Amino acid sequence: MAFHEKEVPANASAGEKVLAWVDSRLPVTEAFKRHMSEYYAPKNLNFFYIFGALAIVVLAIQITTGIFLVMNYKPDAAKAFESVEYIMREVPWGWVIRYMHSTGASMFFVVVYMHMFRGLIYGSYRKPRELIWIFGCAIFLCLMGEAFFGYLLPWGQMSYWGAQVIVNLFSAIPLIGPDLSLWLRGDYVVGDATLNRFFAFHVVAIPLVLIGLVAAHILALHEVGSNNPDGVEIKNTLDAQGHPVDGIPFHPFYSVHDVMYLGGFLMIFALIVFFAPEMGGYFLEANNFIPANPLQTPPHIAPVWYFTPFYSMLRATTSNFLLPLWIFLAVILLMFAKMAKTWKTKGICLLILVVLAVGFKFLDAKFWGVVIMGGSVVIMFFLPWLDHSPVKSIRYRPQFHKYIYGIFVVSFVILGYLGIQPPSPTYEKISQVCTIYYLGFFLGMPFWSKLGKFKPVPSRVTFEAH
């Protein structure tokens, strides 16, 4: 194929000539049109749709501040804590960069949790957006890994003992567990090898995967188009030019809209950085301002707030919880077997039930705690195939569905709160009830999502100009 230089008018400016030269070799203008000025988004997007753009901004903040922190940080067990103190006290504006990075970690999860909640209530995981949701869940997993590996780097008391607890959990996996824990630590105890290993994961490996997943997430989104609060496909109704009647160009309409909310977000971000970077111990814990001491265990070890819902599920899985958990899973599997159309599927459900019975008999609670904690995240990947509702958006679902979603959110918040608190018999029982509800929300979705009287979905989006 012959190369063709893009033509420009003789009186074109120098900038236009440079852009034409670049466009001939790299389609910058075409990409801008495809993903911004000629990408049509539904005109009824609301407040909940700002969090995707905010997540990209926070990712940029984290990468930028991370680069400056790495310039002065030393991944050495003997010097890591002192290097963080050096950044805070001696490096010009180092304290701002460090607090921006620590605040950004928490704000990242705030934004992502809100982004996922919006997808949950408006059915953004439904056909044809399954791949977008899968990429999003993979991003969430990467964020959890990135946050966990980064949490060790300050080499404070909670960093050290938090890593000790989490890495030791992998030893509960049959056969490969001890070797897997040893590989993660790089040694028989959490030490210098662990710090170097986690530093490599946090700074190089996971960010590369994360950026690739974010790019794939956006490309998949722009291929099938954005969902909207009505769950109506705007591509089904086009005008004479082939543009969606109920759509508007993302730029300038939504880009300006997002910039306005971004201003408010950055003001909140700045207020936290300058006035409450520790956020009462939720963003930065007091124990992490004490150098790591392998000989002194903190009175209460708990992860940062964004891990605590899953940590609560881990702690809730005790030996006396295994029987109720098995009964719950048995009921779900029997319901799946009854719903199955083929004997082969029924047999698979019953086989899983038998395997679980044997597993609960011979494997300890620690192993099942790890399974529940990991499964509570992995199950989100299957959400597009668990939801059998005839409509996407919660707007057109039965009223009791809203209560189910509401109780799910409350249960998740309770799990998050209890994960921060010291363990107690009462908190353990509450955590177990919330864990059952969390799992039941997803595993029972094929059954309850079909129940009730659904409202008719309009053929066009419902929109009123402000």
CATH of the domain at 239: 1.20.810.10
Give residue-wise pLDDT tens across range 38-77.
899 999 999 999 999 999 999 999 999 999 999 999 999 9
pLDDT of residue 466: 54
Same domain, 370 and 285: no
Same domain, 48 and 23: no
Domain edge (last residue) among 301, 320, 352: 301
pLDDT of residue 1: 59
Same domain, 317 and 351: yes
Give residue-wise pLDDT tens across range 395-435.
999 999 999 999 999 999 999 999 999 989 999 999 999 99
Domain edge (last residue) among 246, 268, 301: 301
Same domain, 439 and 466: yes
Same domain, 203 and 139: yes
The reply to whether omega before 174 is within 30° of 0 (cis) is: no
Same domain, 78 and 7: no
Give residue-wise pLDDT tens across range 154-199.
999 999 998 888 888 888 888 888 898 998 888 888 999 999 999 9
**Residue 257 counted as an annotated binding residue:** no
**Residue 35 counted as an annotated binding residue:** no
Q: Are 437 and 407 in contact (CB under 8 A)?
A: yes
**Residue 202 counted as an annotated binding residue:** yes
Same domain, 292 and 379: no
Determine the structural domain holding residue 20 and report its residue range. Answer: 1-31
pLDDT of residue 371: 92
Same domain, 315 and 255: no
Nearest CA-CA partner of 161 in 61, 303, 48: 303
**Residue 251 counted as an annotated binding residue:** no
Cα separation of 144 and 105, whole Å? 10
Cα separation of 63 and 69, whole Å? 10
Nearest CA-CA partner of 371 in 428, 329, 330, 335: 329
DSSP 3-state of 264:
helix
pLDDT of residue 295: 87
Same domain, 399 and 427: yes
Domain edge (last residue) among 267, 301, 335: 301
Same domain, 292 and 429: no
**Residue 115 counted as an annotated binding residue:** yes
Number of domains in the chain: 3
Same domain, 317 and 290: no
Same domain, 43 and 27: no
Using 50 as the pLDDT threshold, list the residues of the chain that sit under it: none
On the 0-12 / 13-18 / 19+ scale of CB atoms within 10 A, 351 is exposed
